[in-house]
Structure 1
Amino acid sequence: MTAIHTPLTAEKPVAPRHVLMLATGAGFSVASIYYSQPMLGILIADLHTRIGLVGLIPTLTQIGYALGILLLAPLGDRHDRRGIIAIKGLLLTLALLLSAVSGGITMLLVASLAIGITATMAQDIVPASAALSPAAQRGKTVGTVMTGLLLGILLSRVLSGIVAEYFGWRVMFGVAAAMVMAITLILWRSLPAMPASTRMSYPALLGSMYHLWKKYRPLRRATLAQALLSVGFSAFWSTLAVMLHDVYHTGSAVAGAFGLAGAAGALAAPLAGTLADRHGPAIVTRIGTALATLSFAAMFLLPLLSPAAQLALIVVSAIGFDFGVQSTLVSHQSIIFSLEPAARSRLNALMFTGVFIGMAVGSALGSLALEWAGWQGVVALLTLAGAGSFIVRLLSPDTAQAAHAAA
């Protein structure tokens, strides 16, 4: 395998305004994946289609994101990341505009796939922030950018729920396009050129990812466990708006407001990192997967409660499983980054490919479960996915031993 040539390390600290700019770019781009979820109930009525077809919108978006991470992330080592970010930002803007003017479900599904592929500019912004930072500031800078990414996931549902209810879903996609275009222009004008770090050909880069996947068993275990959690996470969020609309007769603004429960995710990242440093990431993954599973299963109690108490329990469950999912994700990143430091971006790309495959599967299965078995069927799916992830982590060897394990 051709060696990877590491570029010179940045010496000057990154200006706070540039860190804020990178965090905003990561947030705006990844938010594009989630805008549709609180609007699904409105889309069913407006496009005169059924739950199963509308459920394909988040499914295709997540499939596109997985494909974009797997096939496009390696290009950051081969080409100037500044140019890649600009190109993806422009294409993401066009995909969002295509969604805004879609005349039917077919065009919207095509646009959703394109949104997922191009929204992976977030996966170029995060390593770009690391490349621009000196070693002493790198953790803080990347952490801030990741906070922006998490806030993009959190606030996207809130924003889209409100905008769609009061102004329409087409306006939401138009607003999203304007925000992405604005931050893309700012990034293009402000970021320095970032030379390629390797001369490996594109096929060789993809081949190196295959060898990494084959070599490291801890990578495969982490990916499987996080992907299973993602099935439950996505099945919940992709069906929540439809369930709330049908059962509680709420609008998209209420569905979007449930996204505020995702604040637990932003809180989980530093806490999980601290626990992993003190006790090791393996124990944190077991705690996180157990918490997510229990939070999913708690919703089996909904039929026993009053409507107000049911909504309260859904909020509490969302906080609990989001905390568990994000804690497990941070700990899994700690595990895989220790395997081969020179290949961290590719290791991360491999795990996130699995994560978004899980997201896509969760969206598809969640819609089918809701259509065929109602909300209790969705809860059963969530609980099975969480339990599967917990079993994978429970049966995994300790991280200290696993870090050196190969297939």
Structure 2
Amino acid sequence: MPQKLTNSVLYLMSIAAGLVVANLYYNQPLLNLIAKSFKVTEAAVSNVALTTQLGYAFGLLFIIPLGDKISNKKILQVDFLVMIIALLAAAMSPSLFYLSVSSFIIGFTSAIPQLFVPMAAQLSDEKGRGRAIGIVMSGLLIGILGSRVISGFVGERFGWRLMYYAAVVLMLILFFILKFKLPKINPSYKDSYLSLMKSLWFYFTSEPSLRLATLRGALAFGGLSAFWTTLVFLMEDNFSLGSGATGLFGLFGIVGALAATVAGKLNDKIAKNKIILFSTLLLIASWGIFLVSSHSLFGLVIGIILVDLGLQVLHITNQNIIFSKNPEARNRVNTIYMVGFFIGGALGTSLGAFAWQHFQWSGVSVLGILLSASILIVHYMFRNKTV
């Protein structure tokens, strides 16, 4: 029987989630520096961000379901070993190809924070579940946004490789803290790994609410990924600013991250459809602001606050819906949701790079508006069958 979730353990999970997920996003403010280092185009270097996100999606698919079958401590032990080796390989990469391969493995192993979200839901009581999920998700989003600030600063002053070396040290320290402080959970699922993976298809096909939540999340995160992948190019072309300035924009997005705890509590008090409508309108408004702010730093700041706030509120709502309906398989339904979420992110990265290459910032902004509007369209088409 796992121990009760204490505040110290909950905040450790939140901090750990942020530090590990940061590995996925260190590269985004560094793309220009990496492109110059390897003498490749902006479109080519975007493959580093793309392979990282694809690796994350595969890690979610093949690692996270194990949370319903294998002890969390055993998963962490193997995962961190491979992750640290991949970060070291990235730091020493002699070409874009090797960096892309290393980035895929970094993404694959950095899926581990998604064990913490269902773990928080499992260890907390029903009354505090929304709060617990919100706190872990706050750590995740702060890690995503803070990583860009740190990597932009480090890259501009010390070169992009040092950021990966620093991540190796961070992960070593974090592993030993988690090893001794994280509660051990021994799941009850006894069938084979193959049966476990087959059950993903069962939940996907039998739960319309899960499918719809996954599509909403994928469309929203696709837009955000398109934004962060291309922002560094906008900063250099229109403002003559480097990776450090681009990373600093992550600080403004943290305002949205801090809304996660509030969003978790609101899910117990306000109808889900109203929250989904509100969050999606925030996303559309943010992209409208981006569209007219290609030469306005103030406009970009306002847009970043709104887009991160909208995504976070939508994301917490999606996860509350799927966890409440499937308490016996939280890791597996979270796997389905998050795989779709990051496939959306990977597609958004590719579409964003294409839009920038051919239509510059206006193309990226229109892409974001279309993706956000699509959330409302699919939600209101299918909501009567789900939420």
Identical counterparts, % of pairs: 36
Cα distance change, pair 115–218 in 1 and its aligned pair in 2 (3 A)? same
Alignment match of 2:351 (pick from 361, 365, 371): 365
Give the partner amino acid of 1:169.
Answer: W
Cα distance change, pair 144–322 in 1 and its aligned pair in 2 (3 A)? closer
Report the alpha carbon displacement of residue 276 of structure 1 after superposing the two structures with TM.
Answer: 3.0
2:189 aligned with 1:198:
yes
Paired residue for 2:58? 67
Report the alpha carbon displacement of residue 254 of structure 1 after superposing the two structures with TM.
Answer: 0.3
Report the alpha carbon displacement of residue 36 of structure 1 after superposing the two structures with TM.
Answer: 0.5
Paired residue for 1:104? 95
Cα distance change, pair 380–186 in 1 and its aligned pair in 2 (3 A)? same
Deviations 1:157-206 (A, max 9, x none): 11101011111110011101110111012212333543232111111111
Report the alpha carbon displacement of residue 132 of structure 1 after superposing the two structures with TM.
Answer: 5.1
After superposition, residues 90-169 of structure 1 pair within 5 angstroms as: 90-131=81-122, 140-169=131-160
Alignment match of 2:314 (pick from 318, 325, 328): 328
Cα distance change, pair 366–323 in 1 and its aligned pair in 2 (3 A)? same
How many pairs does the alignment contain? 387
Deviations 1:57-109 (A, max 9, x none): 11111111111111111111221111111211121111111111111100010
Paired residue for 2:6? 14
Give the distance between the partners of 2:233 and 2:341, measured in 1 at CA.
23
Give the distance between the partners of 2:129 and 2:266, measured in 1 at CA.
20
Q: TM-score by structure 1 length?
A: 0.90
Report the alpha carbon displacement of residue 114 of structure 1 after superposing the two structures with TM.
Answer: 0.5
SS in 2 for 1:32: helix
Q: Is the 8 A contact 1:281 1:334 kept in 2?
A: no
Report the alpha carbon displacement of residue 129 of structure 1 after superposing the two structures with TM.
Answer: 4.3
Paired residue for 2:172? 181
SS in 1 for 2:113: helix
Paired residue for 2:330? 344
Deviations 1:241-263 (A, max 9, x none): 12211221101110000111211
Q: Is the 8 A contact 1:25 1:184 kept in 2?
A: no
Report the alpha carbon displacement of residue 229 of structure 1 after superposing the two structures with TM.
Answer: 1.0
Q: Is the 8 A contact 1:161 1:253 kept in 2?
A: yes
SS in 2 for 1:56: helix
Give the distance between the partners of 1:222 and 1:161, measured in 2 at CA.
33
Give the distance between the partners of 1:396 and 1:325, measured in 2 at CA.
20
Paired residue for 1:4? none
Deviations 1:319-338 (A, max 9, x none): 11111111111111122223
Paired residue for 1:302? 293
Give the partner amino acid of 1:182.
Answer: I
Q: Is the 8 A contact 1:9 1:131 kept in 2?
A: no
What is the root-mean-square deviation of aligned Cα atoms in Å? 2.0
Paired residue for 2:386? 402
Alignment match of 1:270 (pick from 245, 261, 269): 261
Unpaired stretches in structure 1, ≥5 consecutive residues: 1-7
SS in 2 for 1:153: helix
Give the distance between the partners of 1:226 and 1:382, measured in 2 at CA.
14
Deviations 1:184-236 (A, max 9, x none): 12212333543232111111111111011001111111111111111111000
Paired residue for 2:368? 382
Give the distance between the partners of 1:338 and 1:19, measured in 2 at CA.
19
Q: Is the 8 A contact 1:222 1:351 kept in 2?
A: yes
Give the distance between the partners of 1:168 and 1:280, measured in 2 at CA.
48
After superposition, residues 26-65 of structure 1 pair within 5 angstroms as: 26-65=17-56
Deviations 1:324-367 (A, max 9, x none): 11111111112222322212221111111100000000111111
Give the distance between the partners of 1:279 and 1:245, measured in 2 at CA.
43
Report the alpha carbon displacement of residue 139 of structure 1 after superposing the two structures with TM.
Answer: 5.4
Give the partner amino acid of 2:202.
Answer: H
Structure having the higher Rg: 1
After superposition, residues 198-237 of structure 1 pair within 5 angstroms as: 198-237=189-228
Report the alpha carbon displacement of residue 272 of structure 1 after superposing the two structures with TM.
Answer: 2.6
Paired residue for 1:5? none
Q: Is the 8 A contact 2:5 2:120 kept in 1?
A: no
